[in-house]
Chain A
Amino acid sequence: MKFWQKIYLFSILAFVLIFNAASIMVIERSHNTMLGQEINSALSQNMSIHSSVNAIVPILRIYDSIDYEKTILTNIAKEFVEKNSDDRIYLDIMNDTNRTIFSNTDFEMPTHRGELDKLAVEEIKYILRDIDQRTILFTSNITDINHKKYVFTYMKDVTSLYQERVDQYHFFVKVDMAACLLYMLIMFFVSRGLTKPIDRLNRTAQVIAQGGFSERVRLKSKDEIGVLARNFNDMATVVEDTINDLERNNQEKQRFINNFTHELKTPLTSIIGYANFLRTTKYNEELFVDGLNIIYSEGKRVESLSLKLMDLILLQENHFQMEEHDLGAIIAEIEPALKMKAKEKRIVIVTDCEEGRLLLEKDLIKVLIFNLVDNALKASAEQQSITICTYWRDSRYTLEVIDQGIGIAKEHRDKIFEPFYMADKARTKINNGAGLGLSICQSVASIHHAVIEVTSKENQGTTIGVIFDQIGPKGGLNP
């Protein structure tokens, strides 16, 4: 059963029960009150007859005649009946031999009247009797006249009271039905209205479960369901973000793998192709030397690719022992090696370093500088110069590698950090490059909480700045 149906059904059940019980109690109570009043008035009427009879008892004693007693009693009774002719009132006077002296009843008096059995003198008893579809209130008392006991029975027809109760019940049933219908109608909308937000939450949850992660609940209410919807939306946002992150990550990895297979397959195609060619064709010295040269250089390319890849894999691990080093000193240490490399292309390397003690992983920093200088060398023509400088600015230490080479075109600038991205494929391959250098630099920089900034003008040169965000006084560092 649905939640709104439960609310609906149980509230209707409760309403019907309480409303009916309350109404029945009210009707019964008013009926009982009226009946009580009737009984009281009947009793007092009886008492008044009794007292008026009592008043003439001394006179009757003087005459002591049964006939006279009869006549007097009949007269009193008649007088009384006439006085109350409007009401449906009956009077019955009986002597001790059960003979009726007076009676104006229009119905058969019951033959046996149990209330009289133990009725004492000066006592009034009442009883309700159903006679001929009428309800009659009997009030009886015994009056002693000249040692003869007369039974006075004052009766009142109270059928109307009962009839009224029946009428009230009829009316109540009508009201009850109308009230229930109205209540059902109202409760239907109320329960639907209350549970509608839950339905909406439900539908949204289903949409999300089917992969529609950008779906949100649109609920503005401030009650608990509104709070739930807000929390639900917050949760969905977190899930969506996480999934998007994962997807982006996955795509990045896929792109990396695609590029990697391409970079690996190309030299392999050359190596296998030449080896097979030399293996299966007739020996020709010129082709033989050419082929072996190509196999050698392509083999070198695979080697450098795998070394770079190993660097990159190592960088993913994040377990590095950072120690305090002077970056200027590290540059001075590797300067001879860099100069050797530059000499082949007749390029001059100039260094201008300030002292800067930072938390560094020495080997990684060497890899970073080597890669940056390598890139600068590849971009430079003969006789040009490369400047490596470090300086403090705004309590930040900056390392710059400046070349006067071919520069980086604008369209390549935001892609150069992607693994395997090459601005000029042919040139990169001639230099045995794999397009991984700047990716490695980026990883090293992020391990050192440093950012890399590229400023470049085509055919005028490139400046790569590595800005270390390790705030501290000159020469010191924060723990």
Chain B
Amino acid sequence: MQKRILIVEDDIHISQIIKMNLNIVNYETTEVYDGLAALEAMKQEKFDLILLDVMIPRMDGFTLMEKIQPYGIPVIFLTAKNSVYDKVNGLKLGADDYMVKPFEAIELLARIETVLRRYGKEEHVMEFQNIQVDLDKREVTIQGEPVELTPKEYDLIVVLLKNKNIALSREQFIDKVWGGDYYGETRTVDMHIKTLRKKLQLQDHIKTIYKIGYRLED
């Protein structure tokens, strides 16, 4: 089932780019441009997460936050303000995380995923073409047939699936799969991609993107 995310952001362009990034990794989105419209939208639809700008017209983010609380919907604040006071205030009011503009799309996706997981709303099984990944068992199957993967290869295919249709750089792969304190060569990524392509028959889907890295495409 697709997750529904409410984007409350008064800058149409920013709202647009968030929507585009979320849609591409299969989140469903609704955009509203002020606080009162956000309240309206919440009454009509059920959302799994709210992305909320602090400085929005008609009702500011902090006030809106108090109105959201009874719904029990996780909230990530989006704002250009990065003062400690605002962070503390936002988190005290029950925000689950905080993003300071400008931010990168994959960071936003990672945080959305973390918050959703905390609320037990993450997926248990991911599917791509004829491949199934069971996140609880850490098991990968092709048409029901299990495939042997090393732990790193498994982590790599999960990162690719979660950021489907988005190109990630070799550094970003290393950061997400091997961890920030890994000081190996980026060629390691190339080696693992090569074996993944072979083992999962993804030669046509894991694309090498010139000057950037790799992308899993439908």
Taking beta carbons and an 8 Å cutoff, which residues of A are in contact with B? 258, 261-262, 265-270, 272-274, 276-277, 279-282, 287, 294, 297-298, 425-426, 429
Contacts and interface: CB of A to CB of B under 8 A. Distances in A.
Greatest chain A CB density within 10 A among B20, B24, B167, B217 is at B20
Nearest to B163: A280
B101 A266 contact: yes
Interface stretch (B7-15, B41-49, B61-69, B149-157): B7-15
Given A268-B102, A279-B212, A280-B168, A262 B55 contact: yes
A261 B10 contact: no
Greatest chain B CB density within 10 A among A267, A270, A279 is at A270
Contacts of A276: 104-105
A274 B103 CA distance: 11
B72 interface: no
A274 B104 CA distance: 10
Given A279-B167, A279-B212, A280-B166, A266 B14 contact: yes
Given A261-B80, A281-B24, A266 B105 contact: no
Contacts of B16: 294
Contacts of B102: 265, 268-269, 272-273
11 contacts: A265-B101, A266-B80, A266-B101, A269-B103, A276-B104, A277-B20, A277-B21, A277-B105, A280-B105, A281-B24, A294-B16
Interface residues of B, number: 29
Contacts of A270: 11, 13-14, 17
Interface in B18-70: 18, 20-21, 24, 33, 55, 57
B124 interface: no
Contacts of A266: 11, 14, 80, 101
B46 to A, nearest CB: 27
A426 B33 contact: yes
A281 B166 contact: yes
A21 B11 CA distance: 96
A400 B215 CA distance: 60
A298 B105 CA distance: 18
Nearest to B17: A273
B111 to A, nearest CB: 15
Nearest to B13: A270
Interface in B162-189: 165-168
Greatest chain A CB density within 10 A among B13, B14, B33, B165 is at B13
A55 B110 CA distance: 149
B105 A426 contact: no
Given A265-B101, A269-B102, A270-B17, A425 B57 contact: yes
Nearest to B108: A273
Interface in B79-137: 80-81, 101-105
B20 A287 contact: yes
Greatest chain A CB density within 10 A among B24, B102, B105, B215 is at B102
A262 B20 contact: no
Contacts of A262: 55, 80-81
A287 B23 CA distance: 13
B208 to A, nearest CB: 13
A269 B16 CA distance: 11
B147 interface: no
Nearest to B105: A276
B165 A277 contact: no
Nearest to B57: A425
B20 A282 contact: no
A287 B165 CA distance: 14
Contact of A269 (B14, B33, B55): B14
A368 to B, nearest CB: 29
Contacts of B18: 273
A282 B20 CA distance: 12
A258 B81 contact: yes
Contacts of A282: 165, 215, 217
A287 B20 CA distance: 9
A423 to B, nearest CB: 11
Contacts of A294: 13, 16-17
A426 B13 CA distance: 11
Contacts of B14: 266, 269-270, 273
Interface string B205-218: 00001001001010
Given A282-B215, A282-B217, A426-B10, A274 B80 contact: no
B73 to A, nearest CB: 23
A280 B168 CA distance: 7
A267 B101 CA distance: 10
B212 A280 contact: yes
Contacts of A298: 13
Given A280-B166, A280-B209, A281-B215, 4 more contacts: A268-B102, A269-B80, A277-B21, A297-B13
A269 B101 contact: yes
A267 B14 CA distance: 8
B120 to A, nearest CB: 29
A265 B13 CA distance: 13
A297 B14 CA distance: 13
Contacts of B17: 269-270, 273-274, 277, 294
A258 B86 CA distance: 12
Contacts of A281: 24, 165-167, 215
